[in-house]
Amino acid sequence: MDRRTFVAASMAASLAPALSSTALASSGKPPMKPPIAPVRPHSFTRHGITISDPYFWLKDQSYPTVDDPDILAYLKAENAYFEDRMGQHSMLVETLFAELKGRVKEDDSAVPHQDGDFLYWWAFQPGGQYRLWYRKPVAGGEPQLLLSEPALAEGKEYFRLGTFAVSPDGRLLAYSADTSGSERYVIVIRDLATGKDIETVASDALGAAVWTPDSKQLVWTQSSAEWRPTKAWLHTLGQSQGQLLHEEKDAGYWVQAAATQDRKHILLNSYIQTTTEVRLIDTANPAAPPRLIRPKKDGVRYSVDTRGDTLYILTNEDHVNFALKTAPLATPANWTVLIPGSERSYLTGHAVFASYIALEERLDGLDQIRLLFPDGRDQRIAFPEASYTVSLGTNAQADAPQLRLGYSSMVTPQTVFDYDVAAGNLAVRKVQQIPSGYDASQYATERLIATARDGTKVPISVVYKKDYKKDGSQPLHVYGYGAYGISMPPSFSASRLTLLNRGFAYAIAHIRGGDDLGYQWYLDGKLEKRANTFNDFIDCTEHLHRSGFGRAGFTSASGGSAGGWLMGVVVNERPELWRAIIADVPFVDVVNTMLDESLPLTPGEWPEWGDPRTDAAAFKRLIRLSPYEQVRARNYPAMLITGGLSDPRVTYWEPAKWTARLRATKTDDNLLLLKINMGAGHGGKSGRFDSLRELAEEYAFIFTAFDGAAKA
Does residue 586 share a domain with residue 469? yes
| Predicted pLDDT at 682 | 67
* Domain annotation covers residue 231: no
| Predicted pLDDT at 225 | 82
- Contact (CB, 8 A) for 24 and 92: yes
Q: Give the residue with greater pLDDT, 334 vs 4.
A: 334
SS3 639: strand
Which of 17-21, 86-90, 382-386, 528-532 is the least confident region?
A: 17-21
* Domain annotation covers residue 492: yes
| Predicted pLDDT at 2 | 27
> Is it the case that residue 451 has pLDDT exceeding 80?
yes
Does residue 489 share a domain with residue 400? no
Does residue 549 share a domain with residue 683? yes
* Domain annotation covers residue 587: yes
Rounded to whole angstroms, how far apart are CA atoms 94 and 97? 5
Does residue 616 share a domain with residue 510? yes
Rounded to whole angstroms, how far apart are CA atoms 684 and 585? 9
Rounded to whole angstroms, how far apart are CA atoms 423 and 404? 15
Q: What is the mean pLDDT of residues 88-101?
A: 95
> Is it the case that residue 628 has pLDDT exceeding 80?
yes
Pick the catalytic residue from 113, 235, 510, 682.
682
| Predicted pLDDT at 180 | 86
Q: Counting Cβ atoms within 10 Å, is residue 457 exposed (0-12), middle (13-18) or buried (19+)?
A: exposed
| Predicted pLDDT at 355 | 97
| Predicted pLDDT at 17 | 37
* Domain annotation covers residue 198: no
**CATH number reported for the structural domain that contains residue 688 in this entry:** 3.40.50.1820
The DSSP 8-state label assigned to residue 107 in this structure reads T
**Which residue type does 219 have?**
V
Q: What is the mean pLDDT of residues 573-588?
A: 97
Last residue of some domain: 389, 412, 432?
432
Q: Is the peptide bond before 64 cis (omega within 30 degrees of 0)?
A: yes
What would the pLDDT profile of 471-488 be if each residue is shown by its tens digit?
999 999 999 999 999 999
How is the beta sheet containing 302-307 ordered, strand by strand? 302-307, 310-315, 323-328, 336-339
Buried b (16+ CB within 10 A) or exposed e, 536-565: bbbbbbbbbbebbbbbbbbbbbbbbbbbbb
Tell me how far CA of residue 90 lies from CA of 25, 209, 297, in angstroms.
Answer: 8, 43, 54
Last residue of some domain: 432, 453, 487?
432
Rounded to whole angstroms, how far apart are CA atoms 23 and 8? 17
* Domain annotation covers residue 163: no
Does residue 559 share a domain with residue 537? yes
Does residue 400 share a domain with residue 504? no
Active site residue 647: yes
Pick the catalytic residue from 418, 524, 539, 647.
647
Q: Give the residue with greater pLDDT, 45 vs 22.
A: 45
Last residue of some domain: 432, 463, 478?
432
* Domain annotation covers residue 557: yes
SS3 332: coil
Residue numbers of the domain that contains 555 = 39-102+441-707
Does residue 420 share a domain with residue 452? no
Tell me how far CA of residue 297 lies from CA of 317, 323, 528, in angstroms.
Answer: 9, 16, 21
Alpha helix ranges (H) inside 296-440 = none
Secondary structure E strands in 260-401: 265-271, 276-282, 291-294, 302-307, 310-315, 323-328, 336-339, 345-352, 357-363, 366-372, 378-380, 389-392
Q: What is the mean pLDDT of residues 275-286?
A: 95
Number of H helices, E strands in the chain: 13, 38
What would the pLDDT profile of 284-331 be if each residue is shown by its tens digit?
999 999 999 999 999 999 999 999 999 999 999 999 999 999 999 999
Confidence of residue 659 (pLDDT cuts 50, 70, 90): very high
Does residue 585 share a domain with residue 550? yes
Q: What is the mean pLDDT of residues 163-190?
A: 94
Q: Percentage of the chain with pLDDT > 70?
A: 94
pTM comes to 0.92
Confidence of residue 396 (pLDDT cuts 50, 70, 90): very high
Helix (H) or strand (E) holding 604: helix 602-609
> Is it the case that residue 9 has pLDDT exceeding 60?
no
Does residue 638 share a domain with residue 523? yes
What would the pLDDT profile of 397-449 be if each residue is shown by its tens digit?
999 999 999 999 999 999 999 999 999 999 999 999 999 999 999 999 999 99
Contact partners, residue 496, CB within 8 Å, separation at least 6: 463, 506
Active site residue 556: no
Rounded to whole angstroms, how far apart are CA atoms 244 and 304? 22
Contact partners, residue 375, CB within 8 Å, separation at least 6: none
SS (H, E, C) 515-539: CCCCHHHHHCCCHHHCHHHHHHHHH
Does residue 514 share a domain with residue 643? yes
Pick the catalytic residue from 167, 408, 461, 561.
561
* Domain annotation covers residue 407: yes
| Predicted pLDDT at 24 | 35
Q: Rg of the chain's alpha carbons, rounded to an integer?
A: 26
* Domain annotation covers residue 63: yes
Contact partners, residue 622, CB within 8 Å, separation at least 6: 590, 591, 594, 609, 610, 612
The DSSP 8-state label assigned to residue 264 in this structure reads S
Q: What is the mean pLDDT of residues 340-361?
A: 97
Confidence of residue 11 (pLDDT cuts 50, 70, 90): very low
> Is it the case that residue 21 has pLDDT exceeding 50?
no
Q: What are phi and psi of 49, to 5 degrees?
A: -115, 130
What would the pLDDT profile of 202-254 be if each residue is shown by its tens digit?
999 999 999 999 999 999 999 988 888 999 999 999 998 899 999 999 988 99
Does residue 498 share a domain with residue 382? no
Confidence of residue 683 (pLDDT cuts 50, 70, 90): low
Query: Total structural domains in the chain?
Result: 2
Report the mean per-residue pLDDT for the chain. 92
Pick the closest to residue 110 from 349, 404, 358, 495 (CA basis): 404
Does residue 559 share a domain with residue 513? yes
| Predicted pLDDT at 28 | 58
